Amino acid sequence: MLTAELVKARGAFRLDAGLEVGRGERLALVGPSGSGKSTLLRLIAGLLDPDAGLISLGGEPWFDSGAGKNVPAERRGIGFVFQDYALFPHMAAWRNVAYGLPGRRRSRRAAAVAGLGRLGLADRSEAVPADLSGGERQRVALARALAAEPRLLLLDEPLSALDARTRAAAARELASVLDTAAVPAIVVTHDFAEAAQLADSVAVLDRGRIIQRGSPAELAAAPASGLVADLAGATVLDGVAAPGEGGLTRVELTGGGTIYSTEEASGPVSAGVFPWEIAIDPAGAPAPAGSALNRLAGEVTGVTEFGNRARIGLAVPQPLAAEVTAASIERLGLGPGTPVIASWKATATRLAPR
């Protein structure tokens, strides 16, 4: 198990975070830019020195500020995939993978080619990075990280340099590789959906602190803050909560409007609702019997189609996003400026203190 409790100040920024990652467990670090994700990864790797704290793997201390211990990065047995992959541009793929491996050239080459083969790149072993696609370069970097049989895998936004189409396929391949690795792995990403695909658990960082950790489903179902709800894909509406009738919580929204939740809260809150939980009706349409309790009038601000679904931007007056079928766009005549009613159930409104 990896254990880390670390403090690092860099100018006005201060990171103060702790985590544990079990053998074979995959943890994703997510959060806004500047929250400390990459800094935490580099501290664990030994590429930055903490101001205070400790790091250990399997009970072996790597860093202990109290004991004055600091194992150099090259002796920690870590496989690191950098955001830009950090491949040597003049070296063939196999040479990049073999770089730093012990043994004679022939055995190192055989090990490197075998590693590339496991990632589907056996026929690209002689290609230099400039002749490889983005997905192939990512796999070369991953093969290099795995070549020395690391005790810990660290991946800093390994898919960020890929285009959307390549990224989806690369994420599936990476998830499969991480599934078979029997070592702790930490993946930094800013994309919650990517984190859910790659990791068993997700830790959300904000301003240098881990504010919530759990499975992707747990964070989506019960976000501890508006930031977590937003990262998980929910629209976040600001308001003030107070007890309402029938055991519900009433939220008076900033800018106007009232919604309800089955969750208890009081005072300033962030109310999160996922786009697929929102129904869209024409303005003036009567509320059907037994309909969703939350109904907000607004207008469409934009329509984005993807496959047979569409994301509808709304102003209610706060921004809201709904997801409908592509057929619904034509049926409802949806377009910028179209007046509509957005509705959803009280059980779909998740509340977090603000």
Return the CATH architecture of domain 234-353.
Beta Barrel (2.40)
What's the pLDDT score for residue 105? 66
Residues 236 and 269: beta-carbon distance below 8 Å = no
pLDDT tens-place string over residues 142-195 = 888 888 889 999 999 888 877 777 777 788 888 888 888 888 999 999 889 889
Distance from C-alpha of 81 to C-alpha of 150, rounded to nearest angstrom: 12
Asked if the model's pLDDT at residue 53 lies above 90, the reply is yes
Candidate from 49-63, 169-183, 215-229, 262-276 with smallest mean pLDDT? 169-183
Tokens of 343: 């509705």
Asked if the model's pLDDT at residue 127 lies above 80, the reply is yes
Distance from C-alpha of 314 to C-alpha of 149, rounded to nearest angstrom: 50
- For the segment 11-16, the average pLDDT, to the nearest whole number, is 95
Q: How many angstroms separate the most distant Cα atoms in the chain?
A: 78
Contacts (Cβ under 8 Å, ≥6 apart) of 149: none
Asked if the model's pLDDT at residue 290 lies above 80, the reply is no
Q: Could you tell me the pTM of the whole model?
A: 0.85
What's the pLDDT score for residue 199? 92
What does the H/E/C string look like for the chain? CEEEEEEEEECCEEEEEEEEECCCCEEEEECCCCCCHHHHHHHHHCCCCCCEEEEEECCEEEEECCCCEECCHHHCCEEEECCCCCCCCCCCHHHHHHCCCCCCHHHHHHHHHHHHHHCCCHHHCCCCHHHCCHHHHHHHHHHHHHHCCCCEEEEECCCCCCCHHHHHHHHHHHHHHHHHCCCCEEEECCCHHHHHHHCCEEEEEECCEEEEEECHHHHHHCCCCHHHHHHCCCEEEEEEEEECHHHCEEEEECCCCEEEECCCCCEEEEEEECHHHCEEEECCCCCCCCCCCEEEEEEEEEEEEECCEEEEEEECCCEEEEEEEHHHHHHHCCCCCCEEEEEECHHHCEEEEC
- For the segment 228-245, the average pLDDT, to the nearest whole number, is 93
Residues 219 and 232: beta-carbon distance below 8 Å = yes
Residue extent(s) of CATH 2.40.50.100 domains in the chain:
234-353
What's the pLDDT score for residue 111? 86
Q: Given this structure, which CATH class describes domain 2-221?
A: alpha beta
Residue extent(s) of CATH 3.40.50.300 domains in the chain:
2-221
- For the segment 196-216, the average pLDDT, to the nearest whole number, is 94
